[in-house]
Structure 1
Amino acid sequence: MQENIYFETIKCEDNEIFNLEYHNKRVANTIGLNINLQEYIYPISEELLRCKVIYNDFEIINVEYFPYKKREINTFKLIFDDEISYSKKYLNRENLDDLFSKKENCDEIIIIKNGIVTDTSIANIAILYEDMWITSKSYLLSGTTRARLLEEKVLIEKDISVKMLKKASKIALMNAMIGFDIKEDYSFKL
């Protein structure tokens, strides 16, 4: 039997560790163990870092740090895949990487599953639609920033159709590193 290996991407800057409560919750939901990630994370500098915590069903395996530079994302290729599944943050992202490879000359993909907008390859997505920020109920991965913004009532959950996506006045990408990144100048390609 193949061992499951997972990871968390955690933002660290000025020796602060961001959104730790939500990362701890996701680890607990993933493996059924309460592990306090604070005991494993010691930022190596004050610069903006992407901390990658690698773990299996039993323990933390490794903690790595990388300087972080945000990717510019303004063009999206809509990718339709009714089979994709990524409910846990597996280290093996082969299925997502395969979809990402179909982005053509776009910056990123938006994955459509069974006619519903799910996520991009690296982030959850929200749309500003009829003056409300909506995130899809049919997400692939329960992101930590998404969970926090739902709890804070910044977002509401509702399935997002491709038609709604195209009519949205703005979209936002969200993950641990970029927070809630609003895009006003963007385009889609089918």
Structure 2
Amino acid sequence: MDSVKYFETIKCEDNEVFNLEYHNKRVANTIAKNFDLSEYIYPINEKLLRCKVIYNEDEIIDINYFEYKKREIKSFKIVNNNEIEYSKKYLNREELDNLYNKRDNCDEVIIFKNNLLTDTSIANIAIYYENIWITPKTPLLYGTTRQRYIDQGFLKQSDITLEMLNKASKIALLNAMIDFDVLEDYSFSL
């Protein structure tokens, strides 16, 4: 039987590897074993790269580097799914991909579970609401960038309803590649 596979997406640029401490912590939390990813990651050039580390509970399986180009995201389809489970960064993203495929003509989906905001299919999310940045208390995935901003005290955790999302003056997408990407020009559809 094949073991469950996981992955990390790590930003590399100018031969620098970003936020490894947080990626190492997530790997340790995922498989209850420590891998020092710095022993495996060697950027192949100075360009902006997405390093994809595939692993299971026993070993690092593969490491690939891809030149990164940020997607333009301005429109979101709001989808509800009370069954989705993506608490670990599973290599098998079928559940997320199925939700993404319901985006209609929108660029991305915003996923609600049990009437609360969770994530998008590619990033954690934060909203600027009542003069502070808040992020869902229960995201689908506890992202490394999200955790870094919480640790810095910049981002607060809260349950976020659709009404709060609609009242937000701006939103931000958070992941290892785009960091904290603030969007002020965006739209939602139900």
Normalising by the smaller structure, the TM-score range is over 0.9
What are the ranges of 5 or more consecutive residues in structure 1 without an aligned counterpart?
none
Q: Which residue of 1 aligns with 2:149?
A: 149
- CA deviation map 1:48-103 (0-9, x unaligned): 00000000011101100000000000100000000001000000000000000000
Letter of the structure 1 residue corresponding to residue 136 of structure 2: S
1:74 corresponds to which letter in structure 2? K
The whole-number CA distance in structure 2 between the counterparts of 1:149 and 1:43 is 25
Per the alignment, in what secondary structure is the counterpart of residue 21 of structure 2? helix
Give secondary structure in 1 for the equivalent of 2:133: strand
Q: Give the counterpart letter for 1:94 in structure 2.
A: E
Per-residue deviation at 1:138?
1.4
Alignment partner, residue 77 of structure 2: 77
TM-score, structure 1 as length reference: 0.99
Q: How many residues align?
A: 190
Partner of 2:104: 104
Q: Which residue of 2 aligns with 1:114?
A: 114
One-letter code aligned to 2:110: I
Alpha-carbon offset, residue 3 of structure 1: 1.2
User: 2:94 matched to which residue of 1?
Assistant: 94
Listed as ranges, the gaps of 5+ residues in structure 2 are none
- What amino acid is the match of 1:41? I
Cα distance, 1:7 vs structure 2? 0.2
**SS of the residue 2:91 aligns to:** coil
AA of the residue aligned to 2:24: N
Q: What is the CA-CA distance between 1:20 and the residue it aligns to?
A: 0.5
The CA RMSD over aligned residues, in Å, is 0.6
| Counterpart residue number, 2:68 | 68
In structure 1, give the amino acid aligned to 2:154: V
Percent identical among aligned pairs is: 67
- 2: CA distance between counterparts of 1:164 and 1:107? 21
* Cα separation, 2, equivalents of 1:99 and 1:8: 21
